[in-house]
A = this chain, B = another copy of it.
Amino acid sequence: MTTSGPAREAWLEMVALFTGEENQQSFLTAAASLALTPSAFRALLGFGDEEAPAMRELAEKWHCDPSYVTGIVDQLEQRGFAERRPHRSDRRVKIVSLTEAGASARQAAKLRLSEPPAALRSLSVADARALRDLLRKATAALPV
């Protein structure tokens, strides 16, 4: 609870950027442009490049109830972005994977959301690079 001033101040700047009008709006319009609810859009973004997960694993990852995962995956499936298939050895389990369309929609969405807010765009390339490097240094210092 007693972190040195500068880190605290830096964090407050980031929070302001993230919670700001510009970023919030950009997220919502990106979701709407795919005709997905914000939750389903977040889910789409949440699919990694790893192994396709079981429904139950998604529930854990997203900290929500399995019944809710059913609804979200239904939505993605209806939009043609995901599909279920039974697990090889245990037919109770259903594996969820992105379709071709889902993977490319996710990719496009990530690109779109990676567009930084105006404040960051105002930095010189050198400054932006310095900023990026400091942030990477910070996250690289973490265990795991």
A interface with B by C-beta (< 8 Å): 1, 3-4, 6-18, 112-123, 125, 127-132, 134-139, 141-142
Contact = CB atoms under 8 A, between A and B. Distances in A.
How many copies of the shown chain assemble into the complex? 2
A11 B114 contact: yes
Contacts of A7: 116, 120-121, 123, 125, 128, 131-132
B10 A121 contact: no
B139 A134 contact: no
Most buried by B among A120, A122, A141: A120
Nearest to A122: B141
Contacts of A132: 6-7, 9-10, 13
Contacts of A119: 138-139, 141-142
A126 to B, nearest CB: 8
Contacts of A1: 112, 115
Shortest Cβ-Cβ A-B pairs, 9 listed: A11-B116, A6-B128, A13-B135, A122-B141, A10-B132, A7-B128, A6-B129, A119-B138, A10-B131
Nearest to A20: B139
B131 A3 contact: no
